[in-house]
Amino acid sequence: MTEYALEFRSYSYGYPGSGGKALKNINLKIKKGTFVGLTGPTGAGKTTFIKSVNGIIPHFEGGTITGDVQLQGLDTRTLNTAQISRLVGTVFDDPEAQIVCLDVEQELAFGLENLGVAPEEMEQRIHTALNQTGIAHLRTRSTRSLSGGQKQRLAIAAALALRPEVLVLDEPTSELDPMGSKEVFQVLKHLNLQHGITVVVAEQKIELLAAYCEELVLLKEGEMVLSGKPREVFGRQEMKHLGVGLPEVTELALRLKAHSRELPVQLEEGLQYCCDLLAQQRRVAL
Ligand SMILES: Nc1ncnc2c1ncn2[C@@H]1O[C@H](COP(=O)(O)OP(=O)(O)OP(=O)(O)O)[C@@H](O)[C@H]1O
C-alpha cells in the first residue's frame, strides 16, 4: 500500500479541441491525511486539477493526457468512475447547484441509495456524516431553509456519507460570506484532524488557506510554480509576481523587514510579531 493519497506524475492535460495545455508537467505527491490548499489566479488550472483527481478528466471530458494521476497508487485512467467515486468525494463552488433533495436527510440518503447501501448501514452513515459536519440538528430541515454555509456543510456531509479517502473541493466558499466560509474550513479541518481524511481545496481566499492548510500548491498558467508549507511559500520572492496576494499580517511583516523573525501568516501570530518588535525597539531605546 502506498503512503500517498494522490500522485501527479509528469502530468499534462489539454481540453479537447484546445491547442494548449491547461495543466503542464505537474509532479506532486500528497501524503494520506494532508490538508492541501490549491490556489492561483484565474485560469491557472485549479478546476482542471480538481477534475483530474475526481475522474471527470479523463472519463467525461476526454482531451489529451501525458503522464498520469494516481489515487492510492492506482491510475485514474484504469479505474472506472464508480471506483473513483468510492475513493474521492467532490464538493463544488455553488451550494445551490449540488443539492437535489427537499430535505437534509433525503439529500444524504440519495447518494447512498445510488450506491446500493443497505438501510441499516445507511442510517449509521447518515448519522455519522451529520455529526462529522456539525449539522445533526438540521437533519429534518428543508434544504431550502439552510444558510449558504449550512448548505456547503450538507454538501460535504453528502460526500462524506460515501466514505471517501480524499475530499476535493472547488472554491467551496466562493458564494459564502466570511462566517459561512470559516464554518466550511472548520469542518474540513475537523475531518482532516479527527478522521484522517485527505483534503484538497481550491480556494482564492488566502487568509483561509494560511489559517487552515498544511501544504499549499500554487498554480499559474497550468504550471505548479510553488508548493510547501504556507509560511515557506509566503516568504518566497516569486509570490510578488503570481497575482495571488498574501495574508495581511504577512504583508505587514514583510514591510517591517524584521527578517530574523518567523513570518506570521495568521492574525494571532501577527499580533505577537508586532508586540515582540515593539518590545525590542523599547529595549534598544532605553
Ligand atoms: N472545457 C474547457 N475547454 C477548453 N478549455 C478549457 C475548458 N475549461 C477550462 N479551460 C481552460 O483551461 C485553463 C485552466 O482553466 P481552469 O478552469 O482549470 O482554471 P482555474 O484556475 O480553475 O480558473 P478560475 O479561478 O477562473 O476558476 C484556462 O485557460 C481555461 O480557459
Q: Is residue 53 part of a domain?
A: yes
Distance 22 CA to ligand 1 centre (A): 7
Domains of the chain: total: 2
Distance 118 CA to ligand 1 centre (A): 39
Dihedral, CA of residue 62, residue 68, residue 69 and residue 73, to nearest 10? 130
- For residue 254, the model assigns a pLDDT of 85
- For residue 271, the model assigns a pLDDT of 86
* 259 pLDDT above the threshold of 70: no
- For residue 75, the model assigns a pLDDT of 97
47 lines ligand 1 (CB under 6 A): yes
* Ligand 1 probe mutation, 11, 12, 13, 15, most atoms within 8 A of CB: 15
227-231, 248-252, 256-260, 267-271, range with greatest mean pLDDT: 227-231
> Residue 33 burial (CB < 10 Å; 0-12/13-18/19+)?
middle
157 lines ligand 1 (CB under 6 A): no
> Same domain, yes or no, for 84 and 217?
yes
* 108 pLDDT above the threshold of 90: yes
* 284 pLDDT above the threshold of 90: no
The 10 Å Cβ neighbour count of residue 159 is 23
Distances (CA, A) of 241 to 43, 204, 218, 253: 16, 16, 12, 18
- For residue 80, the model assigns a pLDDT of 95
Q: Is residue 241 part of a domain?
A: no
Q: Is residue 236 part of a domain?
A: no
pLDDT tier at 144 (50, 70, 90 boundaries)?
very high
Distance 76 CA to ligand 1 centre (A): 20
- For residue 123, the model assigns a pLDDT of 95
Q: Is residue 240 part of a domain?
A: no
- For residue 234, the model assigns a pLDDT of 92
Q: Averaged over 86-110, what is the pLDDT?
A: 93
Predicted TM-score (pTM) above 0.95: no
Q: Using the structure block, give the residue that is written with the C-alpha cell 484565474.
A: 42
> Same domain, yes or no, for 188 and 264?
no
Of 255 and 47, which is predicted with more confidence?
A: 47
> N- to C-terminal Cα distance for the chain?
61
> Same domain, yes or no, for 121 and 216?
yes
Closest residue by CA, ligand 1 atom 26: 42
Q: Averaged over 92-103, what is the pLDDT?
A: 90
Q: Is residue 42 part of a domain?
A: yes
Q: Is residue 68 part of a domain?
A: yes
C-alpha cell recorded at residue 122: 445507511
52 lines ligand 1 (CB under 6 A): no
> Same domain, yes or no, for 54 and 141?
yes
> Same domain, yes or no, for 159 and 188?
yes
> Same domain, yes or no, for 127 and 254?
no
- For residue 19, the model assigns a pLDDT of 86
Q: Is residue 237 part of a domain?
A: no
Q: What percent of the chain has pLDDT over 90?
A: 72
> Same domain, yes or no, for 145 and 252?
no
The helix-helix angle for 119-132 and 104-115 (nearest 10°) equals 130
265 lines ligand 1 (CB under 6 A): no
- For residue 258, the model assigns a pLDDT of 64
> Same domain, yes or no, for 164 and 254?
no
> Same domain, yes or no, for 66 and 180?
yes
Distances (CA, A) of 256 to 236, 251, 272, 276: 16, 9, 14, 12
Distance 93 CA to ligand 1 centre (A): 15
Q: Is 113 helix (H, G, I), strand (E, B) or coil?
A: helix
> Same domain, yes or no, for 9 and 98?
yes
Q: Note the pLDDT tens digit of each residue in 64-77.
A: 999 999 999 999 99
Distance 204 CA to ligand 1 centre (A): 15
Q: Averaged over 154-172, what is the pLDDT?
A: 94
Domain, as residue range, for 78: 4-230
> Same domain, yes or no, for 122 and 73?
yes
> Same domain, yes or no, for 89 and 185?
yes
Q: Averaged over 77-95, what is the pLDDT?
A: 92
The span from the CA of 33 to the CA of 30, in Å, is: 9
Q: Is residue 239 part of a domain?
A: no
* 176 pLDDT above the threshold of 90: no
Distance 67 CA to ligand 1 centre (A): 19
- CATH for 154: 3.40.50.300
- For residue 242, the model assigns a pLDDT of 87
Q: Using the structure block, give the residue that is written with the C-alpha cell 466550511.
A: 184
| Stretch (H or E) spanning 67 | strand 64-71
